[in-house]
Structure 1
């Protein structure tokens, strides 16, 4: 039974890896710009390399791998088109008369899902147990990562000093409060992920004990 479960898990993990690889290959073919592509996809590539390098030593739950896959795909799509020009969200902008392409906002909201991966690492690798402090620390780390990403965007804009590339990477679209919106949406996504997925996550974690 355990062997069968392990085989099913490995099949799922291989499938997720193939999907991510396919999207990655697609994203690198004629992107909006190769420098902006590198800036946008680098965090996802580094994260995936860490996941692959630690796969045999520290196996995550299927939920965590699915979340990592979703976030990587989201970043590869954003890197291909740039976050302010993703076609589906341009269509939504025209249909609903939005004042901007909201893929960037949607992406930062989705990044709140990463709190489940953080939660898993805290529960399995630290003395922290389920309860109030787990919620507080996991949420704080999620927000810290979101803030660090905004700082990296700002530093990159200062270093490159290439107007078009800087604007595409920052994705501000004229909103001076863009960084605050991004971090706020990550917070909302984090809270919702903890509320909706924690019970499922707990059931999956039991299999590792």
Structure 2
């Protein structure tokens, strides 16, 4: 079995266990479906494109971790995740911070995924790479906030668990800022190891019959 297939099999098994655990008895079934929807979309796309474009190990591990973050948030809703209450008490915060962590990941993971797509796809100057990635991540965050707005309008009070604002009138702005922060952190800390993995992936692709 090719390496790309083995990695996707492993990811599929981890995500399947995560989906089963988080979806067994979620706090709110409709919220669970909305939160895990990216996972249900991403995995078929990864499988369908594995021959033409196999992500690096770094990108794939981050994608896997992000999926688990979404599943945990879907199981409890972001405002009720137990580990968030532990951190809230530890840091004496006014709210459960798991939602903030989710939005940090919303920038951190797509930054590496988008960076890889842009580098390996070509057609963009290196000096424009970071601004383009940051701009894309901020656009993703804005789109997600608009989707949350649409859910709130469609579901009324039933969307409270999905929104997870916890009474903060500036929740949308904070979410977008934290997403941008996560994307910036990813570029600052992972660009060099990511470049090495991309170089190896391109060498493997050239050597593949």
TM-score by length of 1: 0.90
Q: Does 1:180 align with 2:168?
A: no
Aligned match for 1:82, one of 67, 77, 81: 77
Q: Does 1:124 align with 2:120?
A: yes
Aligned match for 2:10, one of 1, 8, 15: 15
TM-score by length of 2: 0.90
Q: Note the residue ranges of structure 2 that are not aligned, 5 or more in a row.
A: 204-209
Paired with 2:155 and 2:144, the residues of 1 have a C-alpha distance of 16
Q: Note the residue ranges of structure 1 that are not aligned, 5 or more in a row.
A: none
Give CA deviations for 1:134-176 in whole Å, capped at 9, x if unaligned: 1111110011001100010011100112x1x311111100000
Aligned equivalent of 1:193: 186
Paired with 2:159 and 2:103, the residues of 1 have a C-alpha distance of 18
Give CA deviations for 1:169-203 in whole Å, capped at 9, x if unaligned: 11100000001111101111111100111111110
Give CA deviations for 1:9-68 in whole Å, capped at 9, x if unaligned: 654443232112211111110000111111111122212221122112211111110111
Paired with 2:127 and 2:170, the residues of 1 have a C-alpha distance of 31
Paired with 1:81 and 1:151, the residues of 2 have a C-alpha distance of 22
Instruction: Report the CA distance between 1:73 and its aligned residue.
Output: 0.6
Aligned match for 1:98, one of 71, 93, 97: 93
Between 1:87-96 and 1:30-39, the stretch displaced more is 87-96
Aligned equivalent of 2:39: 44
The CA RMSD over aligned residues, in Å, is 1.6
